[in-house]
Amino acid sequence: MTTIEDQDPNLDIDDAIRRVRSGDNAAFEVVVRTFARPLRGWLASCGLPGVDVDDVAQRNFVAAFTRLDDYNTGTNFRLQGRE
């Protein structure tokens, strides 16, 4: 039996993004669930005073959602936009 831990996370992300592009906006939950904890952890580690980590994370997810057409399927979603 294959578990989530056994799967390549980019396969799940690519599938979710394909579904969102096809009109299934609820599929973006896969992206949020995959990246929420690491993103919030990274933001918290920055230790910026007065910054609401949850607000910044939410704004990043909204920005990512609005730019899904810029994502190249089959590449590393974590690294998109860093070039």
The residue ranges of every structural domain in the chain are 8-74
Pick the CATH number of 8-74 from 3.40.1710.10, 3.30.565.10, 1.10.1740.10, 3.40.50.720: 1.10.1740.10
State residue 49's pLDDT score: 84
CA-CA distances (angstroms) from residue 25 to 29, 41, 76?
8, 25, 21
**pTM here?**
0.74
Residue ranges in the chain whose pLDDT is less than 50: 1-8, 82-83
The number of beta carbons lying within 10 Å of the beta carbon of residue 39 is 19
For residue 9, the Cα-to-chain-centroid distance in whole angstroms is 11
Task: Provide the residue count of the chain.
Answer: 83
